[in-house]
Amino acid sequence: MKDLKLPPLQRMWARCPHCGAKTVLYDNTAQCSGVHIKCTRGCKKEFELKIVNGKQVQ
């Protein structure tokens, strides 16, 4: 039997590019574009959430 070890999931906060406030949680397997999020904790602006290979792109 082959022991397939998956890398552990790491969860990170996607941050608002305008003010740096935490918005949503994603993990290191995430891929995302075309998702628009409103910054509710900070500046209240909308931004597009882009995640490539588990990293937020701003």
> Which residues are near Zn ion by CB under 5 A?
16, 18-19, 21, 39, 42-43
Beta-carbon contacts of 55 under 8 Å, excluding residues fewer than 6 positions away, are 28
For Zn ion, the closer of residues 19 and 24 by Cβ is 19
How far apart are CB 5 and Zn ion at their closest, in Å? 38
Task: Please state, in angstroms and rounded to a whole number, the distance separating the CA atoms of residues 39 and 57.
Answer: 16
Q: Single out the residue of 50, 15, 13 nearest to residue 35, CA to CA.
A: 50
State the minimum distance, in angstroms, from the CB of residue 10 to Zn ion.
23
Task: Pick the closer one to Zn ion by CB: 16 or 49.
Answer: 16
